[in-house]
């Protein structure tokens, strides 16, 4: 992973403070809008860690899948071991 060193400024946001994350870092870490993160303090530094959400349905599971259209042959999964459906 490429080392990126940028500066940001802490600004007032309601009753809290906010810091902007530069777009180069967002792209490198592949963060989404409204990304959930954990925030911790380690050795006097603020550490933000993205929370990777597990897919909740088939559409989320395959949202980035690109079909290459290649279907070389039928797969042989071996003989039935239990109550599999016969084709």
Residue 37 domain-assigned (yes or no):
yes
pLDDT tens across the length of the chain (87 residues): 788 888 999 999 999 999 999 999 999 998 988 899 999 999 999 999 999 888 889 998 888 888 888 777 777 778 878 887 776
| Domain residue limits at 41 | 10-61
Residue 85 domain-assigned (yes or no):
no
Confidence at residue 49, expressed as pLDDT on a 0 to 100 scale: 94
Strands 37-42 and 45-50 come out as antiparallel
Count how many domains the chain has. Answer: 1
Residue 22 domain-assigned (yes or no):
yes
Residue 38 phi/psi, 5° resolution? -95, 150
Query: 0.85 exceeded by the pTM?
Result: no
Residue 24 phi/psi, 5° resolution? -60, -40
Residue 19 domain-assigned (yes or no):
yes
Residue 16 domain-assigned (yes or no):
yes
Residue 40 domain-assigned (yes or no):
yes
Supply the CATH number for residue 39's domain.
Answer: 2.10.260.10
Smallest CA-to-CA distance from 7 within 69, 20, 35, 85 is with 20
Could you give the CA distance from residue 81 to residue 52 in angstroms, rounded to a whole number?
Answer: 36
């Amino acid at each position: 992973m490429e080392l990126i060193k940028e500066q940001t400024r802490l600004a007032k946001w309601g009753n809290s403070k906010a810091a902007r994350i530069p777009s180069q870092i967002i792209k490198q870490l592949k963060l989404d809008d409204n990304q959930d993160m954990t925030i911790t303090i380690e050795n006097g530094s603020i550490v933000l860690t993205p929370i990777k959400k597990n897919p909740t349905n088939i559409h989320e599971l395959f949202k980035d899948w690109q079909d290459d259209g290649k279907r070389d042959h039928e797969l042989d999964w071996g003989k039935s071991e239990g109550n599999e459906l016969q084709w």
